[in-house]
Amino acid sequence: MKKEIDRNGRILYKFSHSVAQGGFVYFHKTISGRIIENKQGLRNLLAAISKKYKLIDATIKIYDSIFFFFFQAPISLAPAKIPECICNNISSITNWDKEYIFTEVYDLQEKFIKKDLKKRGYDYEKGYSGN
């Protein structure tokens, strides 16, 4: 896999048989705004998942009651495996809402991630909800 920047400043992921742009985000909140007490444990778990599945450009942002996990998946991986794996492993951290969101994002560069988080009411630098 090779990374290039296109004329609009976005990363292109060039695999041997395809080209991808952007990436994915998984985010999950706690039940009734419960605080994520073990943020380092959650970070370690997500980092281990990233390593296990060889995720590309993974970014983890953990706030008081929600976390965001941005990544690009290698072509050999069905991206839907990631939410399944996360859901099967985070129950020991705290009580999570039954619903989560897994969707595509425009770009995985920090400046675009900051914009995506700001749209959702989160300050990238402060690590908590800006509301």
Residue 121, Ramachandran bin (φ over 0: left; ψ between -120 and 50: alpha; else beta): left
* Three-class SS state of 7: coil
CA dist 100 → 1, 58, 69, 76, 97 (Å):
30, 18, 12, 24, 7
22-122: CATH topology is Alpha-Beta Plaits (3.30.70)
Give dist(CA 5, CA 37) in Å, integer. Answer: 38
Question: Which residue type is seen at 87?
Answer: C
Most confident of 1-10, 38-47, 69-78, 102-111: 38-47
Comparing 5-14, 57-66, 85-94, which segment has the lowest mean pLDDT?
Answer: 5-14
**Domains of the chain, residue spans:** 22-122
State both tokens at 104.
């595509």
With 0-12 / 13-18 / 19 or more C-beta atoms within 10 angstroms meaning exposed / middle / buried, residue 2 is exposed
Q: pLDDT confidence of 121, banded at 50, 70, 90?
A: confident
Nearest one of 69, 129, 73 to 102, comparing CA atoms: 69
Sign of the C-alpha dihedral, residues 16, 46, 101, 115? Answer: negative
Q: For residue 85, name the pLDDT band (cuts at 50, 70, 90).
A: very high
Kindly indicate the confidence band of residue 129, based on its pLDDT and cuts at 50, 70 and 90: very low
Nearest to 57 by CA among 113, 125, 130: 113
Nearest Cα residue to 127 out of 53, 43, 12, 17: 43
